[in-house]
Homo-oligomer: A and B are copies of this chain.
Amino acid sequence: MQNLSSFAILNVTMKKIVIIGGCAAGPKTAAKAKRVNPENKVELYTMENVISYSACGMPYYIKGAVPSYTNLIIRTPEDFKKQGIEVFLNHKCTQILPNEKVVIFNTFNNGVYETKSVQYDELVLCTGSRPYSPKIKNINLDNIFHLKVLDDGIKIKEKMEKSKSAIILGGGYIAMEILEAFVKNGLHVTVVERNKNIMSQFDPEISDIIKNYIIQKDGKQVDFILDDEILEFTGTKGFEGAVTRNGKHLQGDFCVIASGVIPNIELAKEAGVEIGITGGIKTDNRMRTNIEHIWAAGDCTEENCLITKKPMYAALGTIANKQGRVVGINLNTDTSGVFETFDGILGSAVTSYFDFSMSATGLTETKAKIYAKNANIEPISALVTKRDKAGYMPDSKSITVKLVADKRTGELLGAQAVGAGDADKRIYTVTSALKANLTVNEFLHLDLTYSPAFSSTIDPLLTAAYKLKEQIDR
């Protein structure tokens, strides 16, 4: 009995936590789990040769804004070691054995390929995501890139610096950032997007504003091929061009595929971990999977939409970090008594093309209308184009704000803001309102800070809310 008891205490106060994945969620989980209980033995495994870096920063490295890729590295294995966390680079996980509480890794040790089996008390899957590769003929030609790991960023930059033209497959958030990088570096760029518009995450009229801004500013350097897709890459030695469904023959020195990411869930699935309908690992709001002692966080998981209450998938560094924090706390719930939840997301996102920012949260009108088919809501919207500060301020710039609400309850559903002016942080305000289920009627009373250098007396957000209210009152 005494033995059993001390064994139990040992188990409770000191756990071996094994984390797979070294980009964002993994390192965050490791750091938090160790900080909450320094007794924990925390091991972080990654198949890359680097950990804890900002994948989102790569476009800025390619552009030249961030001078070196080493700037993107947040913490080194040595930093973790100082905190008492062991980091294992170049370790590729090949199997999870939940019953044995063991993970199998393949790695090189002194030049010798070896298989390693690692015991865990708690396992955290932070296996991330990988670029989605559309089915295209000759996709394995040289000079066709994805942008996912740090090495990709380095290679794309090297190639860009020797090139005069490029093709970007995809017209979403990351595509905009790469486009800016290439345009800034003097390239001619062809963007191929299968939707009718770039940035199709926004409502069509907002996407149009974005497209028109880019064409007006850099139309000589940028071609948009919309409502079309690449069927075949061409080239004898390496990539030379592409042929589209509509029969367009495109040329370029290289191509970047930026058509979204898919979660890395295969290992988890094989081990019996439940996968959600979006394709990401399903967790509860404490980030526990269906298998005891296995947790998941970051790009490999699916999230809950705070508005529709339905699963959605988003791969973003901010979510990965927040979830890592939650897991790090919850790994210690049995000793600390404290737990934390990750309640869901709004699909909030922001990017920019030079000084033109584009950000959104919650549902677009398009998405709200789809949602309305199976929900008791009646979406309405209001769009306002207005200066971002007092109109007489010489540096005031135009921004467009669109608010979406439910006419029946008056509750806000989402917001989009774009423009060369101060658009993005205004969306922050709406994330807060959506979290609180504020109605339009409540929102339009917001006591936003005002000074001519920062806003108009009635902020564009509130003007949009006034317009929504008129529709609700009708």
Indicate whether A166 reaches chain B with its CB closer than 8 angstroms: no
The count of identical subunits is: 2
Indicate whether A102 reaches chain B with its CB closer than 8 angstroms: no
Q: Are B429 and A316 in contact (CB under 8 A)?
A: no
Q: How far is the CB of A74 from chain B (nearest CB, A)?
A: 8
Most-contacted residue by chain B among A54, A338, A348, A450 (CB, 10 A): A450
Q: How far is the CB of A59 from chain B (nearest CB, A)?
A: 8
The interface residues of chain B lying within 8 Å CB-to-CB of A390 are: 54, 56-57
Tell me the chain A residues, 416-467 only, with Cβ under 8 Å from chain B: 422, 424-433, 435-438, 442-443, 445-455, 457-459, 461-462, 466
Indicate whether A357 reaches chain B with its CB closer than 8 angstroms: yes
Q: How far is the CB of A474 from chain B (nearest CB, A)?
A: 10
Q: Are B438 and A435 in contact (CB under 8 A)?
A: yes
Indicate whether A97 reaches chain B with its CB closer than 8 angstroms: no
Indicate whether A342 reaches chain B with its CB closer than 8 angstroms: yes
The interface residues of chain B lying within 8 Å CB-to-CB of A392 are: 54, 57, 60, 66, 71-72
Q: How far is the CB of A400 from chain B (nearest CB, A)?
A: 16
Indicate whether A377 reaches chain B with its CB closer than 8 angstroms: no
Q: Are B453 and A346 in contact (CB under 8 A)?
A: no
Most-contacted residue by chain B among A320, A390, A453 (CB, 10 A): A453
A-side interface residues, number (CB < 8 Å): 78
The interface residues of chain B lying within 8 Å CB-to-CB of A445 are: 322, 341-343, 435
Question: In the complex, which residue of chain B has the Cβ closest to the Cβ of A66?
Answer: B392
Indicate whether A345 reaches chain B with its CB closer than 8 angstroms: yes
Indicate whether A318 reaches chain B with its CB closer than 8 angstroms: yes
Q: Are B457 and A317 in contact (CB under 8 A)?
A: yes
Q: How far is the CB of A449 from chain B (nearest CB, A)?
A: 4
- In the complex the two chains form, what is the Cα distance from A447 to B435 in whole Å? 8
- In the complex the two chains form, what is the Cα distance from A341 to B445 in whole Å? 9
Q: Are A448 and B436 in contact (CB under 8 A)?
A: no
- In the complex the two chains form, what is the Cα distance from A57 to B60 in whole Å? 36
The interface residues of chain B lying within 8 Å CB-to-CB of A104 are: none
The interface residues of chain B lying within 8 Å CB-to-CB of A449 are: 348-350, 359-361, 424, 427-428, 431
- In the complex the two chains form, what is the Cα distance from A24 to B452 in whole Å? 14
Q: How far is the CB of A337 from chain B (nearest CB, A)?
A: 10
Question: What sequence of 0s and 1s flags, for each residue 51-92 of chain A, a beta carbon within 8 Å of any chain B beta carbon?
Answer: 000101100100001110001100000000000000000000
Q: How far is the CB of A457 from chain B (nearest CB, A)?
A: 4
The interface residues of chain B lying within 8 Å CB-to-CB of A447 are: 306, 318-319, 344-348, 361, 431, 435
Indicate whether A321 reaches chain B with its CB closer than 8 angstroms: yes
- In the complex the two chains form, what is the Cα distance from A306 to B442 in whole Å? 12
Q: Are A393 and B65 in contact (CB under 8 A)?
A: yes
Question: In the complex, which residue of chain B has the Cβ closest to the Cβ of A318?
Answer: B450
Question: In the complex, which residue of chain B has the Cβ closest to the Cβ of A343?
Answer: B445
Question: What sequence of 0s and 1s flags, for each residue 175-204 of chain A, a beta carbon within 8 Å of any chain B beta carbon?
Answer: 001000000000000000000000000000
Indicate whether A334 reaches chain B with its CB closer than 8 angstroms: no
Indicate whether A129 reaches chain B with its CB closer than 8 angstroms: no
> A residues near B, CB below 8 A?
24, 54, 56-57, 60, 65-67, 71-72, 173, 177, 306, 316-322, 325, 338, 341-352, 357, 359-361, 390, 392-395, 422, 424-433, 435-438, 442-443, 445-455, 457-459, 461-462, 466, 473
**Across the A-B interface, the 3 shortest Cβ-Cβ residue pairs:** A425-B425, A436-B436, A318-B450
